[in-house]
């Protein structure tokens, strides 16, 4: 599962606002301002979801949606409030539709609702030693004490706890958390693992496997 988001929006103020709020939620956001640029970014990456403006300067969002031929969910942003436009968007496969003006918090809430609907049901709890992760609430407990993690840190912890005692390569972690096209490369994984160890206060929970990746280790 990737933590990447693709925003296709030509209005600088709106694009910046949506990008800022999604980034605060921990998503790695790619923002493009034309339909063609958005299609190129989509082809290069594997976004977890797409926020797509209908009124783009080159090709409209409906055509972008048609040409994506994708599995990533789409949230349309548009100034159009006609029922026919909403119907067309939904029939093209969009998962939701927000009309301008809107609250950026509403966009984040709609995105979260879409992801809950489209992503597969998984066992809600992951446990290793005294570390407990609840997927439903996205809460993490260490020794019954809550630990606040950003979205990418949470996804990284889940990727490791789903495979206890198994070596998870950096390439696998890139695919699961960031998507294979994430430009930061494997170095960003090492940085996030270091942050995760510090926040959990359990440095031995995640073992480094030299030259390969990481392994979640149960206490002995």
Using the CB atoms, write b or e for 172-186: b if 16+ within 10 Å. bbbbbbbbeebeeee
What is the edge-to-edge ordering of all strands in the sheet holding 4-8? 28-32, 4-8, 49-53, 74-78, 96-99
pLDDT reported for residue 1: 36
| CATH number where 198 lies | 1.10.10.10
Tell me how many domains the chain contains.
2
pLDDT reported for residue 130: 92
Question: What is the C-alpha to C-alpha distance for residues 31 and 34, in angstroms, rounded to an integer?
Answer: 10
pLDDT reported for residue 39: 94
Domain boundary among 87, 118, 149: 118
| CATH number where 109 lies | 3.40.50.2300
Could you tell me if 95 and 71 lie in one domain? Answer: yes
pLDDT reported for residue 181: 46
pLDDT reported for residue 122: 62
CB-neighbour burial class of residue 93 (10 A; exposed 0-12, middle 13-18, buried 19+):
middle
- pLDDT for 80-100, tens place per residue? 665 546 666 666 667 888 888
| H or E stretch at 138 | none
| H or E stretch at 215 | strand 213-216
Contacts of 187 (CB under 8 A, 6+ apart): none
pLDDT reported for residue 160: 93
Average pLDDT, the chain: 84
Could you tell me if 107 and 18 lie in one domain? Answer: yes
User: Residue 78 phi/psi, 5° resolution?
Assistant: -160, 150
Could you tell me if 47 and 113 lie in one domain? Answer: yes
pLDDT < 50: residue spans in the chain = 1-2, 84, 181
Could you tell me if 21 and 47 lie in one domain? Answer: yes
User: What range defines the domain where residue 83 resides?
Assistant: 4-118
Closest CA to 53 of 23, 3, 18, 82: 18
Could you tell me if 31 and 104 lie in one domain? Answer: yes
- pLDDT for 60-81, tens place per residue? 888 998 888 667 899 998 876 6
**Alpha-carbon torsion (132, 134, 140, 143), positive or negative:** negative
Could you tell me if 83 and 132 lie in one domain? Answer: no
Could you tell me if 31 and 87 lie in one domain? Answer: yes
pLDDT reported for residue 174: 78
Could you tell me if 20 and 84 lie in one domain? Answer: yes
Could you tell me if 106 and 132 lie in one domain? Answer: no
Closest CA to 32 of 22, 24, 42, 23: 42
pLDDT reported for residue 162: 87
Question: What is the C-alpha to C-alpha distance for residues 60 and 177, in angstroms, rounded to an integer?
Answer: 30
Domain boundary among 118, 138, 170: 118
Could you tell me if 111 and 196 lie in one domain? Answer: no
Q: 């979205």: which residue's tokens?
A: 151
């Amino acid at each position: 599962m990737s933590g990447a988001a693709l925003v296709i929006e030509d209005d600088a103020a709106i694009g910046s606002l949506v990008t800022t709020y999604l980034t605060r939620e921990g998503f790695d956001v790619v923002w493009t301002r034309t339909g063609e640029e958005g299609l190129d970014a989509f082809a290069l990456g594997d976004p977890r979801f797409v926020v797509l403006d209908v009124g783009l300067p080159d090709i409209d969002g409906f055509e972008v949606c048609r040409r994506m031929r994708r599995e990533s969910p789409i949230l349309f942003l548009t100034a159009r409030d006609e029922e026919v436009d909403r119907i067309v968007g939904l029939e093209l496969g969009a998962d939701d539709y927000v009309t301008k003006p809107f609250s950026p918090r509403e966009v984040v809430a709609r995105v979260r609702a879409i992801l809950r609907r489209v992503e597969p049901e998984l066992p809600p709890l992951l446990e290793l030693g005294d570390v407990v992760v609840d997927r439903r609430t996205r809460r993490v407990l260490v020794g019954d004490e809550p630990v606040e993690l950003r979205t990418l840190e949470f996804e990284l912890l889940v990727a490791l706890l789903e495979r206890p005692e198994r070596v998870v390569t950096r390439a696998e972690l890139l695919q699961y958390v960031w998507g294979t096209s994430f430009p930061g490369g494997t170095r960003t994984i090492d940085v996030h693992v270091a942050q995760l160890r510090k926040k959990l206060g359990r440095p031995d929970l995640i073992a480094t496997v030299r030259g390969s990746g990481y392994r979640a280790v149960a206490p002995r």
